[in-house]
Amino acid sequence: MDGVDLNDLPVFLALSEAGSFTVAAERLGCSKTRVSLVIRRLEAALGAALFHRTTRQVRLTPAGHALRRACLPVLDELGQTLSGFRTTSAELAGSLCVSAPEDYAERVLAPAILAFQARHSGLAVELRCADQVADMVAEGIDLAVRVGWLRDSSLRATRLGAFDQYLLASPGYLRRHGMPASPEELKTHAWVAFTPLVAPLTWTFRRQETACQVRMRASLAVNSTGVLRSLLLQGAGLSVMTAVSAAPELESGRLVRVLPDWQLPSGGIHAVYPPGRHLSAAARAFAAFLKDRGMEPPARPGGRADP
């Protein structure tokens, strides 16, 4: 790019993450004056202000947000490539802390971690399970697997795969209350809301070219996939779960897919990294391993998924 020194971009990213010239300078090991000069030079080269500056904090402008979104994937991919050169012939060592939703960790990540450790026996892995989004820096998490939609577009993330969502209920509930024939009928049914979702009560169903948005009335609300499953099995109402999470219950008939001709939005599975430029080789290698392996649960004999 004419007029732009690419060496200025790490300084820009450090300031965008720190929100302070002083903190950014400490992280980079240079003076606050140096950070200020680099940012002014970059803004002059681009012809746009990248930060709103106040006495208390520094915030990205729309142009700054756009530059950050453009830089992160490129620099992360370069970092993964360079990390691959360093770790191709060397076994990983040290520690790796991974966070993921409990249900997904049990069915998908646990066997993946065992397979990854078989390649790197010197690596100690800690798996922390929670449906809630964690403060990765404060809790010392190297990599978080998130299933769903990333609310913050500035997160450093690698897409690992996708998942389908199913509308579910128990056979007992459907015997008592009837099988809904259309999305509109869901308004009259009991709904169990999953609160970690951005909009747990509003759902859009699609069938070919037809779309139908429905606003549910929640009789119960929970923040745990395991508790959601338990309530559905006990006939508390209807709700939505991922296809992977619901597979054992659908296979056994303990839960039934409702309105199977109507599709719910699919979601993404992402490896999310903590803020900062320096990612551990283990975190990068594990994310690449997950992407190559695929994010479906391992198949058991007969082609069905393990419960």
pLDDT score for 276: 66
Q: Judge whether residue 171 has pLDDT over 90.
A: yes
What backbone phi and psi angles, to 5 degrees, belong to 198?
A: -65, -45
pLDDT score for 117: 92
Share of the chain above pLDDT 90, in %: 47
Q: What are the E-state strand segments in the chain?
A: 51-53, 58-60, 94-100, 123-129, 143-148, 156-163, 165-169, 191-194, 202-207, 210-215, 218-222, 239-242, 256-257, 267-273
Q: Which one is predicted more confidently, 134 or 301?
A: 134
Q: Which one is predicted more confidently, 306 or 157?
A: 157
Binned at pLDDT 50, 70 and 90, residue 253 comes out as: very high
- What is the residue whose two structure tokens read 């939005």? 265
Strand-pairing partners, residue 157, are 272
pLDDT score for 303: 37
| Separation of alpha carbons 186 and 26, rounded Å | 55
The radius of gyration of the chain from alpha carbons, rounded to an integer in Å, stands at: 23
Contact between residue 222 and residue 130 where contact means Cβ atoms under 8 Å apart: no
Q: Judge whether residue 302 has pLDDT over 50.
A: no
pLDDT score for 289: 92
Q: Judge whether residue 305 has pLDDT over 60.
A: no
In Å, how far from its chain's centre is CA 273? 10
pLDDT score for 187: 92
pLDDT score for 306: 36
Among 63-67, 152-156, 226-230, 250-254, the minimum mean pLDDT is found in 152-156
Query: Is-above-0.75 flag for pTM?
Result: no
pLDDT score for 161: 86
pLDDT score for 277: 56
Average pLDDT, the chain: 85
Contact between residue 296 and residue 245 where contact means Cβ atoms under 8 Å apart: no
Contact between residue 258 and residue 179 where contact means Cβ atoms under 8 Å apart: yes
Q: Which one is predicted more confidently, 244 or 194?
A: 194
Taking the C-alpha atoms of 115, 299, 143 and 68 in order, what is their torsion angle to the nearest 10 degrees?
Answer: 130
Contact between residue 91 and residue 281 where contact means Cβ atoms under 8 Å apart: no
Q: Which two tokens stand for residue 112?
A: 């993946």
Q: Judge whether residue 137 has pLDDT over 80.
A: no
Q: Judge whether residue 245 has pLDDT over 70.
A: yes
Q: At what angle do helices 281-293 and 62-87 cross, to 10 degrees?
A: 90
Q: Which one is predicted more confidently, 210 or 57?
A: 210
pLDDT in tens, 20-43: 898 888 888 888 899 999 999 999
| Separation of alpha carbons 40 and 132, rounded Å | 39
Mean pLDDT of 231-250: 94
Instruction: Go through the domains of the chain in sequence order and give each one's CATH number.
Output: 6-71 (1.10.10.10), 91-163+267-293 (3.40.190.10), 165-257 (3.40.190.10)
pLDDT score for 85: 54
| Separation of alpha carbons 104 and 107, rounded Å | 5
Query: Three-state DSSP class for 198?
Result: coil
Binned at pLDDT 50, 70 and 90, residue 307 comes out as: very low
Mean pLDDT of 108-132: 89
pLDDT score for 301: 38
Q: Which one is predicted more confidently, 90 or 244?
A: 244
Binned at pLDDT 50, 70 and 90, residue 252 comes out as: very high
CB neighbour list of residue 286: distance below 8 Å, 6 or more residues apart: 96, 98, 116, 143, 271
pLDDT in tens, 33-80: 999 999 999 999 999 999 998 877 899 999 999 998 888 877 776 666
